[in-house]
Amino acid sequence: MHELPVTESILNVVLKHARANGVKKVVAIHLEIGELSDLENEWIQRYFDYLSKNTLAEGAKLKIKRTPVVMECRSCETRFKVNIKDMFEIKCPKCGSSDCTMVSGKEYYIKSMEAV
């Protein structure tokens, strides 16, 4: 629902790095976005295509890697992946405790970009 401001932020960061590195054109952008985010890949790309017109990043492909939700058990420190549909009944697979904290799954990260 809020792909537009997210895409604007991505573009701003990318253009900053493009200028700093003196590139001619950005070809691809590698993103890591947590599974908990409701962003739609297709819409981010569409907004990006629109916003990036006449910039160094025009036509760049967004390559989005979804990072899984990983929890850590507070009692035995075991880390385990959680299917987003099972998030309401989280139990540590080792000791069975449900007192767990989230260590990843909410990322909004620009990892790298490919440019010429």
Partner 1 sequence: MMDDIKLIEVKEEIFSDNKQLADGLRQRLARNKTYLLNVMASPGAGKTSLILRTIDLLKDDFSIGVIEADIDSMVDSKKVATHGVKAVQIRTGGFCHLDAAMVTKGLDAMDLGGLDLIIIENVGNLVCPAEFDTGAVKNTMILSVPEGDDKPLKYPLMFTVSQALIVNKVDYLKTEDFDMEALKNRALGLNPGLDIFEVSCKTGQGIDKWVDWLRKEVKAFVT
**Dmax (CA) of the chain:** 55
DSSP class of residue 11 equals H
By the 10 Å C-beta count (0-12 exposed, 13-18 middle, 19+ buried), 29 is classed as buried
Identify residues 5-24 at the interface with partner 1 (CB under 8 A): 5-6, 9-10, 12-14, 17-18, 21, 23-24
The answer to whether 113 contacts partner 1 (rule: CB under 8 A) is yes
The answer to whether 57 contacts partner 1 (rule: CB under 8 A) is no
Among all chains, which residue has been given the structure tokens 């629109």?
A: 50
Dihedral over alpha carbons 74, 78, 82, 88 (to 10 degrees): -30
The answer to whether 70 contacts partner 1 (rule: CB under 8 A) is no
DSSP class of residue 106 equals -
The distance of closest approach from Cβ of residue 76 to partner 1 in the complex, given in angstroms and rounded to an integer, is 15
The answer to whether 1 contacts partner 1 (rule: CB under 8 A) is yes
Q: Residue 73 in 3-state DSSP?
A: strand
- According to CB under 8 A, which one of 54, 83, 88, 93 is a site residue for partner 1? 88
Nearer to partner 1, 1 or 54 (CB): 1
User: Which residues of this chain interact with partner 1, rule CB under 8 A?
Assistant: 1-2, 5-6, 9-10, 12-14, 17-18, 21, 23-24, 27, 29, 31, 36-38, 74, 84-85, 87-90, 98-102, 106, 108-116
